[in-house]
Structure 1
């Protein structure tokens, strides 16, 4: 292999596998001499790749963790697997899959060859994910389009459907994507309203990067998108003080409730009680409590008790 840049890329790809490579095996793989391999290793080190060498009969080379993340070289199967995994997590707002994952997906899809992009789409379209059904799904293409404009500080146009079904066209300066574990939101400066807004991403349609760059504005909260989002939500939704006791151990209940509700406190060998605050709707809270799959008693608020009574009667009628 006479092309030095191509050979270095192939060498780097081999070294990124989790094993130690003897110099003789690398030379055989790349069809060069062991001396050329040693020179190529020095070149990689000069470029900032931390290649470690061990001596002895079974010694060799391996890439170790350094101060910075080097560019990853993926084969076709690896690229498809990562893209499908990131798409699945992003599309269903799985807890722990945050904006960084969406940015990674946006970068990966930007450089995927068309043949691999087609394989990713085909595989995802043929797969039905088993999700909890407790959050709105999001088109991964919408997420990656938004993430790209956030990173590039590029104005974004899109259609938006409000909670009451009203359709509008928006042009914004996107600031950050925020994941709550159930839904994705975009924090952005709305140029038409001349004010900051939060948008549910599952209600966004036809996102289009305009190409117009902008200088990022400072948020009213001082630059913390999560704080601004929380403040924005608190203005729009009432907060409930929940007080619920369960006929089940605390760890059993905690495993079946969202983390943001907090941990229930044990009250006995097989009982616990949850006291927390939530801005979720009563319908949502009632559903989550029912999914815990144990006996429970609502001590407050009264509106939640009333709703559960009404829901129980409706379910009883439906099953009779």
Structure 2
């Protein structure tokens, strides 16, 4: 076998070890299509390069990529590792458009092999840094890393959650994916006690603990679509469906995904689905979009729009005397 093929296989082995917390030699051999002996040799090559690969003996034994005492050589020195980790922490907060989830995955991998002395440096720099983010939306990077690992490793998470009624309840969930929408982070997960899919705001989660209870992944809705539907519709008293004479992308430029969902329709129209606590405000927001509109539901929104039109007409009439 050529040196290039061996190097490629070792990199594939490293990727497998980063994918989940533990592998048996037989599982790795099957994935790489080599013998157990080749797996052992490749593990030794990773160790020689500085990757901390731990092995446990016995029937349930296997290989695990652990936290090391040094970073792998030829990849990042101390200063580069600190700069990278700090940048990734800032990116996970949404300061880099489209980079949040990718930065979070990279941060989880880097944090796994970073020695404690460098973790302390990163936390010190991050703790002394402020970003121009609105109050109540900043998420602790440690929470992001904990949830990212739990999603990757398919382990249950336990936490206390502050509900909309301000009461706190303990929840146990099987996490699937985190979704960043606008200025907030959400977790889509299977709620074990309620036996259903749920969406949780990360800024309302407290005392988050990743357990050792592994779960088998189940079929789930598309995380992005599910979170958007939950955020834009579920919490509100009224749910409106309005046809607009506009292309979907035109409306999406004006309506953030956490405010409303836009569906393609026909003949140059689209449908906006949005929730709200007050029908008058819904009517105002739809009118402010500036498109020809047709209210589909609820009927009460038509009445609110009629009353709003009457008030606006009265405001526009000149007063004499």
What range describes the TM-score normalised by the shorter chain of this pair? 0.5 to 0.7
**Alpha-carbon contact 1:159-1:169 (below 8 Å) kept:** yes
State how 1:11-22 maps to structure 2 within 5 Å: none
Aligned residue among 73, 76, 98 for 2:75: 73
State how 1:34-73 maps to structure 2 within 5 Å: 43=3, 46-48=6-8, 73=75
Shift of 1:169: 0.7
Aligned to 1:110: 112
Aligned residue among 209, 228, 231 for 2:229: 231
Equivalences, count: 218
Distance 1:194 1:108 in 2: 34
Shift of 1:142: 0.6
The structure-2 alpha-carbon separation of the partners of 1:123 and 1:191, relative to structure 1 and needing over 3 Å to count, comes to same
The structure-2 alpha-carbon separation of the partners of 1:141 and 1:280, relative to structure 1 and needing over 3 Å to count, comes to farther
1:86 and 2:85 matched: no
The structure-2 alpha-carbon separation of the partners of 1:298 and 1:134, relative to structure 1 and needing over 3 Å to count, comes to farther
**Alpha-carbon contact 1:94-1:182 (below 8 Å) kept:** no
Give me the TM-score of the superposition, normalised by structure 1: 0.54
CA RMSD of aligned residues (A): 4.3
1:205 and 2:196 matched: no
Distance 2:79 2:253 in 1: 34
Distance 2:218 2:74 in 1: 33
CA deviation map 1:177-228 (0-9, x unaligned): 1111321111111111121111011111121111111101212x4xx22232
Secondary structure, counterpart of 1:169 in structure 2:
strand
Secondary structure, counterpart of 2:224 in structure 1:
helix
Distance 2:275 2:125 in 1: 34
Aligned to 2:66: none
Shift of 1:255: 9.2
CA deviation map 1:67-108 (0-9, x unaligned): xxxx98111122111211121122357541343321221111
Aligned to 2:189: 188
**Alpha-carbon contact 1:158-1:204 (below 8 Å) kept:** yes
State how 1:1-320 maps to structure 2 within 5 Å: 43=3, 46-48=6-8, 73-92=75-94, 95-131=97-133, 133=134, 136-219=137-220, 221=221, 224-233=222-231, 234-237=233-236, 238-239=238-239, 277=272, 279=274
